[in-house]
Structures are given as C-alpha cells and as structure tokens.
Amino acid sequence: MPILTGLAPDPRQSGYRLVEVDRGRFASLPGDALVPLRLDIGREIPAAVLTRLRELADIEAACRAALRVLTRRGHARHDLGSRSSTQRYGPRAAAGRHASSKTCARKASTPASRKNRYAGRSRTRV
C-alpha cells in the first residue's frame, strides 16, 4: 500500500495542498476536497482513498489542460468537451460535473489567466 509522505500548502495556488505519496509528488489538489479523506502523514492510504485522490488529480489535470487551451485560443470553449473526452482523463474529469469544474471556471477568470491569454497578441509583427 502507498504511504502518504507529505501534505504541504502549495505556494503557487492559494487553498491547494501538495500531496506526496511514497516520497514523490503526487498532485496539487484543493484543500477543501482533501478534508473528508482524513489523510495522515506517515500512514498507508486505503484503496478507496487512493482511488479518490486519483480522481481529483485527473480533474485538476483536465482543468489545467482546459486553461492552457483557453489561453491559446479563447474561442475554443466548445472544443474542450470533445478534446477532454479523447485525452487520458477519467470520465468524471471529462464530464466536468465535479465541484472542481467551478474552480476551473474561477481560475479562468483570474487576472493572471486573462493576462496570459492576451500575452501572445502583444508581439509586434514586422
């Protein structure tokens, strides 16, 4: 069984925790989603909890991929559903029917993502 070796705040994202399993980084996940899992550092992770951690990691990965697409092509919102279903993300992540999809939408509206979205357009063409 895998062992939880670290659970620290993520310095890059407020409210997120860096989860380490077997001394390796597993994922950066929302802290509020980890509370009901009752994770203890140094203890084995039960199979059901590990499955839930993997689902959360898939959802976050799908969200980051969607944000990358939106920053490159703001008009590609309707393509996200078909692209996410063909990627390696789980069915719940592709469906976007989880609470993290609200987080994804919130992240897309942050000033940093808006700045990144238009950063490529500021180049001068000669």
| pLDDT tens per residue, range 90-110 | 656 555 544 445 556 656 555
Specify the CATH number for the domain of residue 112: 1.10.10
| pLDDT tens per residue, range 65-90 | 888 877 777 555 666 656 555 555 56
Provide the residue range defining the domain that includes 96: 4-122
Question: What is the count of structural domains for the chain?
Answer: 1
Q: How many CB atoms lie within 10 A of CB 90?
A: 15
Torsion of CA 71, 76, 79, 80, to 10 degrees: 30
28 with 10: CB under 8 angstroms?
Answer: yes
Measured distance CA(11)–CA(106) in Å, rounded:
18
pTM of the model: 0.62
| pLDDT tens per residue, range 38-71 | 999 999 999 999 999 999 999 999 998 888 877 7
